[in-house]
Amino acid sequence: MSFPTQRPRRLRRTEALRNLVRETRISTAGLIYPMFVCPGTKVRQPVSSMPGIAQQSVDQLLEEAREVEQLGIPGIILFGLPESKDATGSSSASAQGIVQRAVEAVRKANLNLVVITDVCLCEYTDHGHCGVIENGEVANDATLEILANQALSHARAGADIVAPSDMMDGRVAAIRAKLDDHKFEHLPILAYAAKYSSAFYGPFREAAQSTPQFGDRRSYQMDPANAREALKEVALDIEEGADMVMVKPALPYLDVIRRVRDNFNVPVGAYNVSGEYAMVKAAAANGWLDEKRTVLELITSIQRAGADIILTYHAKDLARWLRSS
């Protein structure tokens, strides 16, 4: 049966009808807000390519974390800018490290926030790669113990979830074993399972000062052309003990999010990354896009594709818009 019996426009006539039949209802409940913590006090250094986002010292970060909590956003993910970098990223696992101190401060303030930490070496190595270098290459197995120690130090500081983003093979198993050995068997792992080697991380590398000093990340992050391989990565991470998996970036990989959602029964996250944010901000600043409508549409698309959890720099704006709508 088709027209004139079928008239899909009947259900689009009024806002009330549209609301009633809406398939995807976004809320702040699945949002995670990424934050960058740097040394010092009273530091708030805006990231030029990410309007609204700043590198902040622990005291300032705490203020913003309070705001995030009050907006009803359930969690944050922390990235650190350490005081010093070296070849093996040794400051990444220090109990007095920058991320560890930020986690402790948020814990001490008793904020009702899920605190996620990014586990990776690129912010802590002087060469900017996500693992240690051997014979001019990023060495896989030699990196695993360092990552596991970093994750353990985050756990000790009070993180609720650790999220490895390095893309070394076997890192989820190494982190799981290390956490279990130290009585953190209850701590969940959110694996950046399908992380693509993407141009969209550009602004983040300014924010986190983590640009590789030679070469690129294509020998460990995924080729953007591959979707089947994402399913393999996700399967391996779940086998190794990942409790949740993530696809990153989000918008150019909605098909991957959908396939992961359809193939696995764990919570699926999507990272709406820095470059995706910067594009919207730049166009909006020029008056070329309506920021609110654009962001609501993009986040709806990511959720419609199957993401349960969305990491996004738009989280605070979204929470305000969703509250007033």
Rule CB under 6 A: is residue 118 a binding residue for ligand PBG? yes
Nearer to ligand PBG, 2 or 76 (CB): 76
Residue of 61, 130, 132, 299 that binds ligand PBG (CB under 6 A): 130
| Cα–Cα distance for residue pair 135/142, rounded to 1 Å | 12
User: Segment contacting ligand PBG (CB under 6 A): 35-43, 87-95, 115-123, 141-149?
Assistant: 115-123
**Considering only residues 261-320, where is the footprint of ligand PBG by CB under 6 A?**
273-274
| Cα–Cα distance for residue pair 238/142, rounded to 1 Å | 22
Q: How many residues contact ligand PBG, by CB under 6 A?
A: 11
| Cα–Cα distance for residue pair 303/305, rounded to 1 Å | 5
Rule CB under 6 A: is residue 55 a binding residue for ligand PBG? no
Given 195, 281, 292, 316, which residue is catalytic?
A: 195
Residue of 120, 161, 172, 305 that binds ligand PBG (CB under 6 A): 120
Rule CB under 6 A: is residue 58 a binding residue for ligand PBG? no
Rule CB under 6 A: is residue 165 a binding residue for ligand PBG? yes
Examine the residue annotation and report whether 248 is marked as an active-site residue of this protein: yes
For residue 302, give Cα distances in angstroms to 23, 106, 131, 200, 226. Answer: 13, 29, 30, 16, 19
Closest CA to 164 of 225, 85, 92, 229: 92
Given 85, 178, 248, 281, which residue is catalytic?
A: 248
Nearer to ligand PBG, 120 or 242 (CB): 120
DSSP 125: B
**Considering only residues 183-242, where is the footprint of ligand PBG by CB under 6 A?**
201, 204-205, 210
Examine the residue annotation and report whether 232 is marked as an active-site residue of this protein: no
Rule CB under 6 A: is residue 161 a binding residue for ligand PBG? no
Which residues have a catalytic role annotated?
Answer: 195, 248
